[in-house]
A and B are shown apart, each in its own frame.
Chain A
Amino acid sequence: MKRVYVNEEWCLGCHLCEYNCAFANSGLSDMAYALKDKKIFPRIHVEGDDKITFAVSCRHCEDPICVKSCIAGAISKKDGVVKIDREKCVGCLTCILVCPYGALAPGENGTMQKCELCLDNTCGAPACVKGCPNRAIVYEERSEAE
């Protein structure tokens, strides 16, 4: 299946992916209205230091440890996509404790958010990838570590 992959040598650290993510998941049609002067809670995060930057989002693991560890049974995997039911989540953060990629973070109300590949919002495909100016993240099929 298609996933988001990182080409860190091309990442400019511009954080546009974070804004596009927050906008895509806001449910609003006007970007300025959705994001201006607001603290954003994106599901992709640019990490790094003064030497290198890269954008981290859910890897949609083959055998996701977050699904097995969630104390609320709020995380599940269907058709290859790891999803969270935010109504069930109580914000215990156990998924943060177990995710080796650091791919989950709380949203505005303290329940957890994660990348669901924009398959359920109006974007239909990862907005972060669409808006990346340098192809530092791509959405494609890969079979093994490349």
Chain B
Amino acid sequence: MKKYVIIGNGTAAVGCIEGIRTLDKDGKITVISAENHHIYSRPLISYYLEGKTDLQKMKYRGDGFYKDNGCNVIYGKTAVSIDPEKKTVTLDDGEKVDYDELCVAAGSRPFVPPFEGLETVTQKFGFMTLDDALSLEKALTNNSRVLIVGAGLIGLKCAEGIAERVKEITVCDLAGRVLSSILDDDCAPVVQRRLEDNGIKFLLSDSVVKFDGDKAYMKSGKTVEFDILVLAVGVRANSELVKQAGGEVNRGVIINEKSGTSIKNVYAAGDCAEGCDFLLGSNRVLAILPNAYMQGRAAGVNMAGGDAVYDNAMPMNSIGFFGLHIMTAGCYDGEMTEEKTEAGIKRFFEKDGYLRGFMIIGPTDRAGIYTSLIRNKTPLSEIDADFTKKVASSSIFSSEIRRKKFGGVV
């Protein structure tokens, strides 16, 4: 009977467990969970603070998940080293766990730049884990003035989540626009306005030079007074375990399309891993939930002796703020076409006859049809040339393609 060990208890771990169980119903699975929680949906922590979900509903899999899948979960312990020769993982209390197949799904941690005076701030939080959200929740009052450093996905979802519960929120970012990793200079201000309409203040192209207790001195010369500080600057992959074990690591643990690392019988998946972005043809950390699941799943199947390949990973995000929905996918190279209507903006990026990426703010209905054009590398010559001007619909395809899609088993 095979011994499987998974370091981490997030989405990638679930993918891995479910992947293993497609082939091996009996092997022993041990999950090492640093967090003392049943598997929960990490991106839901802002929805939790907003009151749109609760601790029970935000469980990513039901209460019986580990039992049904024959998993032994070690809670509250961290893996500190991997010995690929002896095939053991050592935990922080010295316990050794043997493995035949190992998956490192250790996630990421907040990156905190060395701010001067950060130690003088008494109430400071990250916003990555459920425990972060629960401790932030304890600190919040109706009179709180909150400073969020970072106007990315994490910082802004945090802002939305707590907007109704605090007096004031200021978000600052070194970048000149919000969501700078997924939106361009024209689309970002639309989202920023929606957040501003809901009372959130921004200090963009600005950064904290120094903290002094409850004051932040900004590069622009401004001063922000706050009671609560949230640091959402960025994240770093937890790749050290694999690196120390001699595995290849760049910004994340380097994996191939089977989620295998450079070490035999060691796989990696999720936010700690760096796999191939099939649009760029090069490796990058794609810290998004679907990617974590699919890398984890491929790892699990392969660990169980199967042959799974996940070779069409690309960036994509669906995120909303105060009822305004944003969807982005792919990369933004090539020629841009824009469709602006009352409903919002769509921007498409085409290159060499293929759709490479898109950005939509507002009219997101059936946008997965666009995503599939990118993912399947559908030659745009095969579809309605005016597709960008229409609402997303399978009417852009030929009758023959539609017959396959809607008349067959898919």
- Give residues in A with beta carbon < 8 Å to B: 3, 5-9, 47-49, 52, 54, 56, 59, 61-62, 65, 68-69, 71-73, 87-88, 90-102, 105, 142-146
Contact = CB atoms under 8 A, between A and B. Distances in A.
A112 to B, nearest CB: 11
B53 A90 contact: yes
Interface stretch (B81-89, B90-98, B171-179, B399-407): B399-407
A88 B375 CA distance: 28
Nearest to A93: B318
A96 B392 CA distance: 11
27 contacts: A5-B407, A6-B407, A59-B406, A59-B410, A61-B410, A68-B290, A68-B294, A69-B290, A71-B41, A71-B289, A72-B44, A72-B53, A73-B61, A87-B57, A90-B47, A91-B52, A93-B320, A93-B327, A94-B289, A96-B368, A97-B317, A97-B329, A98-B371, A142-B407, A143-B409, A145-B407, A145-B408
Interface string B363-375: 0111111011001
B297 A68 contact: yes
Nearest to A45: B366
Contacts of A65: 290
B408 A146 contact: yes
Given A69-B289, A142-B408, A143-B409, A98 B399 contact: no
A88 B320 CA distance: 17
A105 B364 CA distance: 10
B289 A6 contact: no
Interface in B307-352: 316-320, 325, 327, 329
Contacts of A145: 403-404, 407-409
B53 A98 contact: no
A102 B410 contact: no
Contacts of B289: 69, 71, 94
Contacts of A8: 399, 402-403, 406
Contacts, number: 136
B123 interface: no
Nearest to A111: B52
Nearest to B392: A102
Given A49-B395, A87-B57, A96-B368, A73 B41 contact: yes
Nearest to A7: B407
A22 B317 CA distance: 30
B69 interface: no
A94 B318 contact: yes
Contact of A3 (B293, B372, B409): B409
B43 interface: yes
Contacts of B406: 5-6, 8, 54, 56, 59, 101
Contact of A72 (B41, B375, B410): B41
Contact of B407 (A48, A100, A146): A146
B368 A144 contact: no
Given A93-B325, A97-B329, A71 B44 contact: yes
Most chain B CB within a 10 A radius of its CB, from A56, A95, A102: A102
Nearest to A138: B407
A133 to B, nearest CB: 19
Contacts of A92: 43, 318-320
Nearest to B46: A90
Contacts of A144: 408-409
Contact of B327 (A6, A7, A97, A143): A97
A72 B395 contact: no
Contact of A97 (B14, B367, B394): B367
B369 A102 contact: yes
Top 10 nearest A-B pairs (CB, nearest first) are A145-B408, A102-B366, A100-B372, A69-B290, A73-B60, A6-B406, A99-B368, A97-B318, A94-B318, A90-B47
Contacts of A48: 393, 395
Interface in B50-89: 52-53, 57-61
A90 B44 contact: yes
B15 interface: yes
Nearest to A59: B410
Contacts of B394: 47, 54, 56, 101-102
Interface in B232-278: none
A105 B392 CA distance: 13
A96 B41 contact: no
Given A68-B297, A72-B58, A90-B52, A98 B316 contact: yes
A103 to B, nearest CB: 8
